[in-house]
DNA sequence: CAGTATCCGAACGGATACTG
DNA sequence: CAGTATCCGTTCGGATACTG
């Protein structure tokens, strides 16, 4: 299957042109940016607020400058995050979700909240699993 | 903050005991298994069907035996996937989602479908981004 | 403040060979 | 078929130092 680099308007095929299960579909890369170790947390941190670089660093505990920078670049390039630099001194840069980013983050937060809410169950499952092969 | 290793029933605190934004909250690890490179696709593959090991390998294009095995173990330990081995020859092992796994996968698929449906927009954003610094 | 550049160890992950 | 074991290159990612 070939993945179009432009929109598919004008075509009338029923099957979706993008499929994350396909090895080289670009949607897999974008899903990677969103679900990656720092991607999901960065989007989540921006879910409620516009934040500055170091505010993000504090909110996403454990992320390094390098990784946060990389993550933001990837999300900005994919059109999920908007970067706005004020030409002041000291510099001030605000990051916020784009409309597309908000859609994506809504679903990601639904997943995150479910996981947080079911962690007790997960920890029980782990104990059972570990006990069975002890 | 200390994360409880048991359920929190009986407490009446308003704040959630688990928080993925906290550096050492175990929910971050589980979210990692779910959103990891192969975790999301493995769950997605099991969304509709019970599948055998090699069926999964074919469905999740590009995954190696090693990674699929690791991924399934992690998901099984977290109580998201159930493994059922028939003691036949040749061996037959079926993997299917647990009820918890189905809840998680529902949300993950909502995210995946959104991303697939918005990829044209993402690719446009990338072209704009790349053009601006060419 | 908001990053970039470099170094370097750790973890990821693919290929291959092997086992029950 | 359903895995495990090993090798080994690639990438991830943290610490540190530096720039505008």
Q: Helix, strand or coil for residue B94?
A: strand
Residue B23's pLDDT is what? Answer: 87
| A positions 103-122 inside 8 Å of B (CB) | 103-104, 107-108, 110-112, 114-122
Whether any strand D atom is under 7 angstroms from the Cβ of A95: the reply reads no
Residue B16's pLDDT is what? Answer: 56
Residue A103's pLDDT is what? Answer: 98
| A positions 53-92 inside 8 Å of B (CB) | 59-62, 76-80
Whether residue A21 and residue B44 make contact (CB cut-off 8 A), yes or no, is: yes
> Tokens at residue A15, please?
């099957």
CB nearest A61 (choices: B23, B78, B130): B23
Residue A24's pLDDT is what? Answer: 86
CA B37 to C1' D9 (Å) is 19
The secondary structure of A28-85 as a DSSP string is HHHHHHHHSTTHHHHHHHHTT--EEHHHHHHHSTT--HHHHHHHHHHHHHTTSEEEEE
Tell me: the pLDDT tens digits for A34-72?
Answer: 998 899 999 999 999 999 999 999 999 999 999 999 999
Place of tokens 């601006």: B132
How many CB atoms within 10 Å of residue B31? Answer: 24
Find how far residue B33's CA is from the centre of its chain: 6
Q: What would the mean pLDDT of B24-38 be, rounded to a whole number?
A: 92
Tell me: the pLDDT tens digits for B68-90?
Answer: 999 999 999 999 999 999 999 89
The CA distance from A44 to A60, in Å, is 9
Q: What would the mean pLDDT of B9-30 be, rounded to a whole number?
A: 74
Eight-class DSSP state of B11: B
Place of tokens 């074919």: B58
Backbone φ and ψ for A20, nearest 5 degrees, come out as: -60, -20
* Helices and strands, counts by H and E, chain A: 5, 3
Q: Helix, strand or coil for residue A11?
A: strand
CA A65 to C1' D19 (Å) is 15
- Best mutation target among B35, B57, B74 (most A Cβ atoms within 10 Å) is B35
Confidence at B6, pLDDT banded by 50, 70, 90: very low
Confidence at B49, pLDDT banded by 50, 70, 90: very high
Q: Which CATH architecture has domain A15-132?
A: Orthogonal Bundle (1.10)
Chain D nucleotides close to protein (CB under 7 A) are: 1-6, 12-17, 20
Residue B5's pLDDT is what? Answer: 44
Confidence at B134, pLDDT banded by 50, 70, 90: confident
Answer whether residue B13 shows pLDDT above 50: no
C-beta separation of B54 from B32 below 8 A: no
The CA distance from A2 to A24, in Å, is 9
Using omega within 30 degrees of 0 as the cis cutoff, is the peptide bond preceding B90 cis? Answer: yes
Whether residue A21 and residue B5 make contact (CB cut-off 8 A), yes or no, is: no
C-beta separation of A21 from B40 below 8 A: no
Q: What would the mean pLDDT of B18-36 be, rounded to a whole number?
A: 92
* pLDDT under 70: residue ranges of chain A: 1-16
Whole-angstrom CA distances from A134 to A82, A128, A129, A130, B71 are: 50, 10, 9, 6, 21
- The strand D neighbours among B residues 78-107, by Cβ under 7 Å, are 83, 85, 90-93, 95
> Tokens at residue A24, please?
């080289």
Confidence at B24, pLDDT banded by 50, 70, 90: confident
Place of tokens 């890369």: A29
């Amino acid at each position: 299957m070939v993945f179009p680099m432009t929109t598919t308007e004008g075509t009338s095929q029923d099957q979706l042109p993008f499929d994350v299960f396909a090895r080289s579909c670009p949607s897999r890369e974008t899903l990677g940016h969103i679900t990656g170790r720092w991607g999901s947390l960065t989007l989540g941190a921006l879910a409620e607020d516009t934040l500055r670089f170091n505010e993000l660093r504090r909110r996403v505990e454990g992320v390094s400058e390098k990784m946060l920078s990389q993550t933001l670049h990837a999300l900005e390039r994919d059109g999920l995050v908007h970067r706005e630099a004020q030409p002041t001194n000291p510099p001030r840069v605000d990051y916020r979700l784009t409309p597309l980013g908000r859609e994506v983050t809504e679903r990601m937060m639904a997943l995150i909240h479910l996981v947080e809410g079911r962690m007790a169950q997960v920890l029980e499952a782990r104990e059972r699993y570990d006990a069975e092969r002890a």
